[in-house]
A and B are shown apart, each in its own frame.
Chain A
Amino acid sequence: MDKKGQLTGEYLLIIGFSILISISIAYTASEIIELNTCMAVARNGAITGSYMDSLAFYPTEKFKEYTDKYPRLKSSSKVVFIKMYYTNEGFDKKYQKIKLKLKIVASAPSLKSDKEKTCAGDRINYYARKSICEAFKTEELTNVYYNPAFSSRYIITTAEVEWIS
């Protein structure tokens, strides 16, 4: 600033340029941070789901359904979350957000039938989606199954859990 209280043109250019760069970095960084948060909370949720499956502790209606159809699921079993990854399915025109599909890989050596594994996998996926909606406070945007889950920029669905032995 000179003695007359005026800023130089160069200074204004540098400041302007720096602000533009800062804004673009901030936008990119916030996008990456949001994606990172999505994946972290989904992972937390998936682990919670696998705990529920392991301890065989379910919502009352589901418990009664399993008692009738899949009595094996009443007892504890070893269900372990292995890993999770996502695929970007592009921009969703309906929701105006980027669509991601989560794929969770888990292991349940004591569950033999495919239907039992599907039940256990549905719970893992449910808690992964639920965690995302709770972290981004978007519960009111989705349905009771939190499907799809929403963050500010993303719409997240889940593929069937992949089981490895």
Chain B
Amino acid sequence: MVNTQTTPHGRLKQSPFLPDMAEIVRKERLNPTETLYVLRLTDGAELGHAPGQFVEVSVFGVGEAPFSISSSPTRGGEFELCIRRVGDVTTAMERLGIGAKLGVRGPLGRGFPLDVMRGNDVLIIAGGLGIVPLRSLIGTVIDERADFAEVTILYGCKSPAEMLFKDEIAAWEAREDIDFRVTTDIADPSWKGNVGPVTTLFRRLTVNPKTTVPVMVGPPVMFKHVVKQVLAVGIPEDRIILSLERRMKCGIGECGHCQINGVYVCQDGPVFTYAELKRLEEAML
């Protein structure tokens, strides 16, 4: 597997526990629990991330937590995090206004293997909040569209109300050069689209197993079913790309929380091939 981890910038390498400072440039409430934060490093530097990487965000006095970066590095200076209010740090973040300072360590971890995807068909499969890190990849694929062959995006949510980035989704849907399909587990009266798990979308696709790189982010139950489907059409194990969620503290391969067998998800991942994960007990749980 090609390692797409970017070289940590000097300061992080020197003092990997010391956060850089960032400020909130903009906040946008996407639905009752998710908010999009647009951040900028206060020293004016670019974050320099790759799609699929994450940052550790500090709210000083409350704590630090890992979040995947949701914006594409092709979009320049600012970067975006889409965060569900669920724990201490995320609840504290919601109370912060524009201009508030946060600590940021990163970018951390190994991102999506863009070099494997270039020249090939890209099949992006997002379940629920899995769309958040995949949006970074989608942005890159759109901005460098000519580098990729067929691009298909499948997005499954629990309900239409939980769907994120609705305006952007409309734009993806409108594009001729992307096949975008969305489904919801439970419909509401306004919903005219597909109903059912994301596997129902896959079933209707025709994919070329020789040229397709499936990239999926979602809950473990989605991995279980979708991996089975992509294997069944003959896509090799080392070309199936997944990103794992784990509890992370240090983010730099020390503290132990995200470890699966000999692998640290924070540094060896969070993006892996299925071939890598298959040998790891507990990886797909």
Q: Do A and B bind each other?
A: no
Q: B residues bordering A, Cβ < 8 Å? A: none
Binding site for B on A (CB under 8 A): none
